[in-house]
Amino acid sequence: MSDVLKRRFFDQIKVMFGWEPSKPTEITPAAQKIHFYKKGNRDLIAQKLHARAHAEHKNTWRNRRWATLILANLLFVVSFALDIQILEGALTASRFVGFHLIDLNSALQVMLAHKHIINNLLIGTGTVLVLWVLFGGRTFCSWVCPYHLVAEWAEKIHLWLAGKKLVTDQTMDRRLRTVFWVVFALLALATGYTVFEAISPTGILSRALIYGPGLALLWVLALLVFEVFFSRRAWCRYACPIGLTYGVVGIISPVRIKYKLDGCFHEGDCRKVCLVPHVLDTVIKGRAVDTEVPIGPDCTRCGLCVDTCPTGSLTFEVKGLSKLA
């Protein structure tokens, strides 16, 4: 990795903790050459419009992701309903054919509440840690978390209402998520109770699907109403500590989305569909620090940008290996 990409990498980590993306102060000569060419190329607008008009609009990665998320959660439901003990428990803590799986953020909350390291939790978190280091921490958010899916559908309603000028999107400071992470950790430490687990829509929805609905679903409904009428995807973007925890885990993940500068016409469609658009600041004209730039660790690997990009400038890849189809 070049020094320029290393600096960009650390900038991306700061963005994950809530800092706003900034213009790069240093760009490689190869990238500068492409930026200069595009700046003086009057045909770029025509090429952009042509690419949009002839783009093959597909939902390959979205469909794969939705299918994976639904099947993962249905496996909990079927295992409990039929008592076949394949996947027991819920997303917070489970056991898959005998292997303990414990959500990293939940394990941290429990150990802070009990004020000591619990060996059984370490065993369960070890498996999960390895899994999400390999696949990318925030992959959990878009490929497994049930709230993420319903919030994604709620976002479609929000965008439809916004198109009719019935609502506007109120943005907030993304550093709030880091603040909430600290607040929930301190609450667990001070009260001896896992406060976050009581209000986590991820856990509430997972348990409701498996064991049946309860009054806690009213809290989830309130969050969705807030996101539809006031601030799109507010919980995931500004509050949920799970996303931040898994983002940190995924910093060194080999699975990532990579951006290629040369073929991009900077039409911006990818940022419009991105669930966390701040991670795609590098696609803005003049922002790429190199000819190829991996997207930062706060990326959920949802694949919407890959499906939408008309020129194939955004692709999934495994670091050191080839891109994923």
Query: What would the pLDDT profile of 228-283 be if each residue is shown by its tens digit?
Result: 999 999 999 999 999 999 999 889 899 999 999 988 888 888 999 998 999 999 99
Per-residue pLDDT at 240: 94
Q: What is the mean pLDDT of residues 216-224?
A: 97
State residue 317 phi and psi, 5-degree precision.
Answer: -150, 155
Choose among 308, 316, 306: nearest CA to 55.
308
Q: Strand order of the sheet with strand 87-89? A: 87-89, 93-96, 99-102
pTM of the model as a whole = 0.90
* pLDDT > 90: percent of the chain: 60
Burial of residue 232 (number of CB atoms within 10 Å: 0-12, 13-18, 19+): buried
Averaged pLDDT of the chain: 89
Between CA 279 and CA 209 the distance in angstroms is: 32
Read off the amino acid at residue 217: L
Q: Could you state, in order of their start, the residue ranges of all structural domains in the chain?
A: 3-56+254-318, 85-248
Count of CB atoms situated within 10 Å of the CB of 11: 19
User: Helix 201-211 crosses helix 60-82 at what angle (to 10 degrees)?
Assistant: 50
Choose among 104, 92, 135: nearest CA to 302.
135
Per-residue pLDDT at 267: 81
Query: What would the pLDDT profile of 59-104 be if each residue is shown by its tens digit?
Result: 999 999 999 999 999 999 999 999 888 888 999 888 888 788 888 8
Per-residue pLDDT at 4: 80
Per-residue pLDDT at 45: 63
Between CA 72 and CA 91 the distance in angstroms is: 10
Read off the amino acid at residue 263: G
Between CA 317 and CA 136 the distance in angstroms is: 12
Query: What would the pLDDT profile of 4-45 be if each residue is shown by its tens digit?
Result: 878 888 899 999 999 999 888 889 999 998 888 877 666 666
DSSP category for residue 278: G
The greatest distance separating any two alpha carbons of the chain, rounded to the nearest whole angstrom, comes to 66
Question: Hey, which residues does 258 pair with through a beta bridge?
Answer: 294, 315
The answer on pLDDT for 54 being more than 70 is no
Q: What is the mean pLDDT of residues 37-57?
A: 66
Alpha-helical segments (H) within 21-94: 29-39, 44-53, 60-82
Alpha-helical segments (H) within 136-284: 139-143, 146-163, 176-191, 195-199, 201-211, 217-229, 234-238, 241-249, 269-273
Between CA 36 and CA 32 the distance in angstroms is: 6
Between CA 151 and CA 157 the distance in angstroms is: 10
SS (H, E, C) 119-133: HHHHHHHHHHHHHHH
307 with 55: CB under 8 angstroms?
Answer: no
Query: Three-state SS for 204?
Result: helix
